[in-house]
Amino acid sequence: MHIQKISRSIINRSCFSTSAVNEGTFLDQVMAYFNKASGHTNITQDKLDFYKSTDIVIKFNLPLVRDDGTYICVPAYRAQHKTYRLPTKGGTRLSPHINIEEVEALSFLMTLKNSILDLPYGGAKGGIGINPRKFSKREIETLMRRYTLELAKKNFIGAAIDVPGPDLGTGEQEMSWMKDAYTKFKGHQDINALGCVTGKAINQGGISGRQESTGMGIFFATREILNDVKFCQSVGIEPSLKGKSVIIQGYGNVGSFCAKYMYDYGAKIIGVAEHDGSIFNPNGINPYELAAHKTKTGGVKGFVNATKYWEDEQAIYQQCDIFIPAAFEKTVNAGNADKFNCKIIAEGANGPTTMAAEEKLLSKGVIFLPDILLNAGGVTVSYLEWLKNLKHINPGRMTRRWEEQAKHRILEVIKMSTGLNINIKDSKLAKKMLEGPSETDLVHTALEQSMIEAVNNIMATSKEYKVNLRLAAYISAINKLNEHFEMAGIEA
C-alpha cells in the first residue's frame, strides 16, 4: 500500500479538555499504575521502590538571541529513568508545558515500553520548553544544536550512552540537526556518531519506515488484539478491526498514519480532532484526502467532506467503536470521562488517560488498549535505525539481490519439474513479487513481528493474572525488570 508522508504538527492543548487538578501530576498517574500492577507480583517493596525511581534527571538553560535581537533563556531537560541497560532511549519534545516531572514520567514509560518490546535500552526522555509555533526555523535550529552540545558536554548523548529520538513537536529535521551538531563536536572520536539520535532524515543516516512506525504499530497491535476471538467475546465486543468506526484526536504523524492503515484494512474513520477544531462524518472520512487538506491548510477546518465541524473537541465524544487519543497526556480525565461514547480506547499518545477516568470508563465496559504497548512502534523502528548506524550498512544490502536470484532459481526448478510455461516478463505484479526485500519491507515486517509478539505476551499475561490489558502490560514490564536485576545484581 502507498502511504503519503505528511509533515509533523503540534497540538494546541487549549483546544482540548484539561485534567481536573485533584488528579495529580502525570508522574503521579504513572506511579499509581505501577503501584497497582506491582501488587499482583511477588516482588518486595524495597525492590519495587528502586525499579520505579529515576536514576538521573537534569535541567539546564539554553541562551537564545531571537530574530528581533532580544535575549531569552529557555529551559531544557533530560531524564534517564533507568541506566541498567545502555544506551538509554527516548524522545525529545518541544513543548511549553514540559517540566522535570513530565520528563521523569515519560522516561519511566520508556523503561516499561522498552522492557515490553525486549529492546536493549533503559528509558529516557527530554525536551526544550518552547512552543515551536512561536519560534522561527532559525531559532529552533539554534536551540536544537545548543541542546545537543550541552548534552554532549554532560556525557548525556551518544550511541552507547543515551539516544534521543523525535517526539511531540520534533521530527526528522530536528533530529538531523542534533546528529549534525553531535558529529561535528565528537564525530572524530566516535565512529558510531550517526547513532547518537534516531528519527533522522534518510540522507542523514535515518531508516525507511520510521516516520509511519508509531501509527503503523498502533494499527498492528489493535488488529491483533481484535483478531483474538476469545478475548473479544470475554469483553463483549465484536472481533475484527474491519468495519469498526474510529475517531482520532491528533492528526500528526501518529494519528494520520494510523488512520490510513486502519482505513486501508477496512475500518471507517468518522471523526478527527486537531488544534483548529474537530470534524465528523458518520459515513466516513478519507484519511488521504484529509492529510492533503491538512498539509495545504495546516488543520482540519474547512475539510469539504466533513458533515459537522466544531471549533473545539466535540468530535471525540461522538459515538464510535474505537477512540484513539494521539495527542498528549491526560486528555481522557475525570472531567470529561462521562462524555465518551466509545467501546474501545486505543492509546496512541503517552499517558492519555488518568486513573480516575479509566475507573469510570471501565465501569461502563470500555476496553483500554494501553499506551506502553500500542505506541511502541516508534521506538522499535528507532532500534532498527540505531542498528543500521552501528553496522554501517543498509538493511538488506548484502542479501536483497541474492534473495531475488534465489526466487528466480526456484521458479526455474518449478518450470523444469512441471513443464509449465511461466512467463513473468510482461507482468509487473509477478516481477514485484520476485524482488528481494527493500529496506522498507524489512522494517515493516520486523515491526509487525515485534508488535505481534508483544501483543501475544501481554494477552497471555492478562489471562494468567486475570487482569486487564494495561495491568498486564505493566506486570510484564515489571517482571522483566526484576528478572534482569535478579540475575545481574545491583552494583555497589
Mind telling me the catalytic residues? Answer: 125
DSSP codes, 260-296: HHHHHHT-EEEEEEETTEEEE-TT---HHHHHHHHHH
* Rounded Cα–Cα distance for residues 398 and 203 (Å): 19
Q: Do 103 and 127 contact (CB within 8 A), yes or no?
A: yes
Q: Which helix (H) or strand (E) holds 20?
A: none
What are phi and psi for residue 450, nearest 5 degrees? -65, -45
Question: Residue 325: which residues within 8 A CB-CB, separation 6 or more?
Answer: 249, 250, 316, 331, 332, 345, 347, 348, 349, 352, 353
The label of the residue with cell 474501545 reads 344
CA 382/CA 380 separation, integer angstroms = 5
Q: How far is the C-alpha of 282 from the C-alpha of 291, rounded, in Å? A: 18
Residue 475 to residue 125: CA distance in whole angstroms:
22
By CB neighbour count within 10 A (0-12 exposed, 13-18 middle, 19+ buried), where does 176 fall? buried
Closest CA to 122 of 163, 92, 153, 154: 163
The DSSP symbol for 185 reads H
Strand order in the sheet with 71-80: 56-65, 71-80, 122-128, 88-94, 162-166
> What whole-number distance in Å separates Cα of residue 9 and Cα of residue 7?
7
Burial of 408 (0-12, 13-18, 19+ CB in 10 A): exposed
Element (H, E) at 157: none
Q: 3-state SS of the chain: helix, strand, coil percent to 5?
A: 50, 15, 35
